[in-house]
Structure 1
Amino acid sequence: MNLPINPPLLPMLAKRVAAIPAGDSWNFEPKWDGFRALIFRDDEEIVIQSRDGKSLNRYFPELLEVLEIQLPKRCVLDGEIVIASEGGLDFDALQLRIHPAASRVKLLASQTPASIVFFDLLCEDGVDLRTAPFEQRRQKLEALLASAVSPIHITPVTNVRSVAEDWFKRFEGAGLDGVMAKSLSGTYESDKRTMLKVKHERDCDCVVAGFRWHKDNEGTAIGSLLLGLYNNAGDLQHVGVCASFKMEKRRELVECLAPYRKDALANHPWRSWADQGAGEDGQRMPGGQSRWSQGKDLSWEPLRTELVVEVAYEHMQGNRFRHMAQFRRWRIDKQPKDCTYAQLEVVPPQELMAIFPEALESQVS
């Protein structure tokens, strides 16, 4: 590959802020929840590169075909790979693509084809555009993809803050998890957090059903707390972890959790989960290995299910937290049995077709 910009190239990143910025120097976009991807094309050679610089070509063969047809011969674009359904973006289906068997990937590509939504242009026809202002790059991107058809799309954009605020409220039900803000004059800075992102955050009370030791301090510091919520049948479901603690707090937690470790496994609701990592209902156990674990030690220590913690979370992916939850406070005033899914705020799912009639048409028809 002989472009002014060749892979691997780390994408530009975003830092989180509490609110959508004011002023007339910003462009706003929906924040897509998928796989970040840089697309490099040099004539017949195409590379779909992941956020960490690895090739995704083998996992999305259906995208390689359309990229070859619709993109110009020499270009580099930044975007997000998504899979859409009538209920919105399906991140679970996207994760299933990272499979070692080519036959499985081929089957999934036909059953749940992916789309790619572009939001930046880094190179066109041999010209490096990274030092050009974003406003100019966006104009060139729109011209480049003017005739593109599904499954290739360009993300919506607005410079009106009230519109961005409306997007922030409405689009969540379709699986988009916030709003991006980009400076109109900003250049493309690889691996730097120069963009801004505003994401949803809510509170939830969870049962603390176990923990993992800190990877470098086993026995002396807590790595993460394993969280659970009761479903309608009264079963405690593993919904995720919270792990953002300072080292001093990690050591304090060892003493705090010690009384709840005694006889914890005797009547533990997760005791019967199989060694292969899934329970009878298909819920993945908190210490279960999977192909996403990449050899990490996920062994865990049970706790008597008597502690309740308030955590902050962004949104749900199925019946689990999409991202790591954040510790807020202990809830000694709340009974574990009251930690149910009913407390969660449910955003009505809106089909992507209702939000972007022209976007992802082939995926939701």
Structure 2
Amino acid sequence: MDRPVAVVLARAVARLPHGASWWYEPKFDGHRVVMFRDADTVVLQTRSGRDVTGVWPDLAAAGMRLAPGTVLDGEVVIWRQGRCDFAAVQSRAASTPARVRNLAAALPATYAVWDVLNHPVLGDVRPRPYVERRRLLLDLLAGVPPPIQVVPATDDYDTAVLWIEALEPQGIEGVVAKPGRSAYRGGDRIWQKVRHTEVVDVAVIGYTGASARPRNLAVRLPDGHTALSQRLGALLANAAAPALIAAGPGPRGHTTAGDRYTTTTDGAL
């Protein structure tokens, strides 16, 4: 399978879809990563296609236990005191090469896997339905020890609703819903996600797309990290545009995770 590979995306919704064809998975708070097990090595790719193998040497080493030809999609998570610690993930993602080894020992990562894109025997399985890929994934990772682990999944709506509330203390963001008969089509937003409702004060420091029609806002979080918002709907984009146009475009910037955006010349809005 050629690299980089386009990943399936999820769109935010207010309520979980309900029906016989839907499956549900907890949404972990980490960094999206695709793992490629080649003949002699392991390569890790972000959602945007960047190679981050050097940042996660512990996961690259763990990936060598997989059969060559395996390609997985999942989330890098760091557990601290029984919770997903997103700040720890950000710290490792932004670390310098000199600090990588020490951070890997101090903040060991887990790879929470939810999909298989290429099977070592069957090849590219992305055209197959989710339920079939799920079975292949469980068989493929049976006996593979941590830090590579399969995420839980259920087709029971009531269980998924319970997860949204019951798993919040563990730092689980919410639940992702996936059509059971859907193929894996990179770039499509065929999955749906419901997050816990939280209010956080952030400073807007830039945007992606055009200032008149921004796709995402770049924000500075209370902990000092920078990130992109979810994709803006038409109403939010129209509301943000006047302030972005008035501020004027500045130089290109990068979020803590490495995503590019256009800064605003007037600083934070």
Q: TM-score, normalised by structure 1?
A: 0.59
Cα offset, 1:48, TM superposition: 0.7
Q: Deviations over 1:45-79 (max 9, x none)?
A: 2211110111110000111111102x112211111
Query: 5+ residue gaps in structure 1?
Result: 230-236, 256-288, 304-365
CA distance in 2 between counterparts of 1:79 and 1:59 reads 16
SS of 2:33's equivalent?
strand
Q: 1:78 to 1:227 in 2, by over 3 A?
A: closer
Contact 1:226 1:238 in 2 (8 A): no
CA distance in 1 between counterparts of 2:219 and 2:118 reads 44
CA distance in 2 between counterparts of 1:8 and 1:254 reads 34
Match of 2:87 in 1: 92
CA distance in 1 between counterparts of 2:152 and 2:19 reads 19
Among candidates 152, 155, 170, match of residue 156 of structure 1: 152
CA distance in 1 between counterparts of 2:46 and 2:205 reads 29
Q: 1:48 to 1:134 in 2, by over 3 A?
A: same
CA distance in 2 between counterparts of 1:6 and 1:141 reads 20
Contact 1:78 1:121 in 2 (8 A): yes
CA distance in 1 between counterparts of 2:39 and 2:167 reads 37
Q: 1:102 to 1:248 in 2, by over 3 A?
A: closer
Match of 1:201 in 2: 197
Among candidates 32, 51, 54, match of residue 55 of structure 1: 51
Query: 5+ residue gaps in structure 2?
Result: 247-252
Q: 1:34 to 1:242 in 2, by over 3 A?
A: closer
Match of 1:251 in 2: 242
Match of 1:177 in 2: 173
Where do 1:1-365 residues align within 5 Å? 5-69=1-65, 71-99=66-94, 101-126=96-121, 127-202=123-198, 245-247=236-238, 250-251=241-242, 292=256, 297=263, 300=266
Contact 1:115 1:151 in 2 (8 A): yes
Contact 1:213 1:300 in 2 (8 A): no
Q: 1:108 to 1:161 in 2, by over 3 A?
A: same
Match of 1:319 in 2: none
Match of 2:249 in 1: none
Paired AA for residue 136 in structure 1: E
Match of 2:250 in 1: none
Q: 1:227 to 1:35 in 2, by over 3 A?
A: closer
SS of 1:94's equivalent?
helix
Paired AA for residue 242 in structure 2: R
Paired AA for residue 165 in structure 2: K
CA distance in 2 between counterparts of 1:65 and 1:147 reads 16
Q: 1:164 to 1:6 in 2, by over 3 A?
A: same
Cα offset, 1:10, TM superposition: 1.3
Q: What is the aligned-residue RMSD (CA, Å)?
A: 3.7
Contact 1:211 1:300 in 2 (8 A): no
